[in-house]
Amino acid sequence: MERTLSIIKPDATRRSITGKINAMIEEAGLSIIAQKRIRLSVSQAEEFYGVHKERPFFKDLVEFITSGPVVVQVLEADNAIPLYRKTMGATNPSEAEEGTIRAAHAESIEANSVHGSDSAENAVIEINFFFDQDEIVG
């Protein structure tokens, strides 16, 4: 079994579609084994998205991700990392395959409803960033 870190982003909490997204996650065969609703501080967001700090969209991204509540989750399945990336769809919703979360729900390349870890190494770092071991019930 593999674990990945998911974030349901502020564009989705604002539209009250976290339940719809969770249904798509569970229908894809991913178990939600930890979940909490939080509001990221600017410094937390800058640290979380640190790999993007030289990108032109970094400032806007930090502003967006701190603009409202997010739901952070740990998802578990065989091959959870690639399975969730496939379930989310492409970063840009206009390129996301039909049936994916981003095709169904994302508003733009920035406000794209969900985040998923992109490697096993980053999944461990990202899960530990948000969760204590006793908050994860597999």
Amino acid at 1: M
Q: Going residue by residue from 47 to 66, which x/- string records binding to ligand ATP, judged by CB under 6 A?
A: -----x----x---x-----
75 three-state secondary structure: strand
Which does residue 61 touch among Mg ion, ligand ATP, none (CB within 5 to 8 A, set by kind)?
ligand ATP
Q: Which of residues 88-127 bind Mg ion (CB under 5 A)?
A: 118
- Does position 76 bind ligand ATP by CB under 6 A? no
Q: Which is nearer to Mg ion, 23 or 108 (CB)?
A: 108
Q: Does 115 bind ligand ATP (CB under 6 A)?
A: yes
Distance CA 72, CA 31 (A): 14
2-8 β-sheet, strand order:
31-38, 70-77, 2-8, 114-116
